[in-house]
Every structure is written in C-alpha cells, then in structure tokens.
Amino acid sequence: MSGHTLFDLSGKCGYVTGGGSGLGRAIANGLAESGAAVVVSDINSEAAETVAMEIRTRGGNALALRTNVAHQDEVDILVRTTIAQLGRLDFAFNDETSQPPAPQAVVLHPPARAYFVYPCPYASCNGEFDLAASVAEIADSKKTSAAGHIRCTGERTRGRQGKSSCDLHIEYSIAVGK
C-alpha cells in the first residue's frame, strides 16, 4: 500500500482487536493504507480473514487471528503472534466493546495522531468518532495513558421517529511510549 498522505506508518506493526467489522475494520484498513503491517484480530475468524484478505489484495501486509479479548491467555497469544510474525509490536488498538477486555495497552505513535477519526459503523448515521484529540492530548502532555469513552457525533435516521442523536459509544484505553 502506498501510505496515507497525512502520515506514514511504513515499517510499523501492530494489531487491531474487533478488526473483523465496524470501527475495528475501518481502523485496520486505515492503518494498512498508511503502510502498517496489521494483525486483524476478531472473535469471528472468518470476518478477521476477510478483512486481512482485503488488505493483502490492495498490497498491504495483514494476518488474521481469532482472539477473544476477555481471555488473557488469548491476548497473550495475540501479542506473541504479532511479534513472531511481524517482527515487532509498535501499536495495538482495542475495539472489542461487547465485553470488558483483558488488560492491555493501546499504543499509537505520534505521526498517527492526526488521523484517528473514523465514521460511525451504522449505515443510517452521519457521525464519526474522533480519537485524534485524545491521542494528541496524551502525546503532547506528560501523561503516558488515558482511558474513557467517546460518543458518536452524528444523528441516525430511525424510520418514523425521524432523526435522533446516535447512541453508539466506544470505550478506549490509550498508552503512548515516550
């Protein structure tokens, strides 16, 4: 892949949990588009493989791995597999929101911080999730981590009810190596 015009992640490697669909899929594709090698991790192995194949078809480097982030042993395997297959671990993005994840760090390198804005996965929504401010705040401060939740900024069309604020939110945990 040729790399994104805002930043270049060539030579960087990491994983995205929940990467088989929705926001995780968008993040995995965005990271790969920017030149990163990505392990697409999802509890649904077929979905993970589909996304990894899409990335490889476009010239990127991607692997698929079934992982249930609620089980620490599977998260450990994900980290070890990423390092063994790609040679290093520069970043991790946890997008699995259906259950609390096992403890892990989400590492984003400063060149990537201006690009972490992703569309809401609901087709009927016009909003987005903007993680750029959270990443930039950490990267520019003496903090090494932060956690919280962020709501979609858009509105969803709900049939006869018309439009209303999107109720989707994600929880995030970010750690930055200084």
**DSSP per-residue letters across 46-75:** HHHHHHHHHHHHTT--EEEEE--TTSHHHH
The reported pLDDT for the residue numbered 101 is 41
pTM of the model: 0.56
pLDDT at 108 over 80: no
- Cα–Cα distance measured from residue 47 to residue 66, given in angstroms and rounded to the nearest whole number: 9
pLDDT digits (tens, 9 = 90+) for 146-168: 777 788 888 887 777 778 888 77
For the domain 13-175, what is the CATH code?
3.40.50
Q: Give the start-to-end residue ranges of the domains of the chain.
A: 13-175
pLDDT band at 118 (very low <50, low <70, confident <90, very high): low
* Lookup: tokens for 116: 């972490």
Q: Is-contact 24 42, C-beta < 8 A?
A: yes
Residue 79 pLDDT level (bands cut at 50, 70, 90): confident
Give CA–CA dist 30/14, Å, rounded. Answer: 13
- The reported pLDDT for the residue numbered 44 is 94
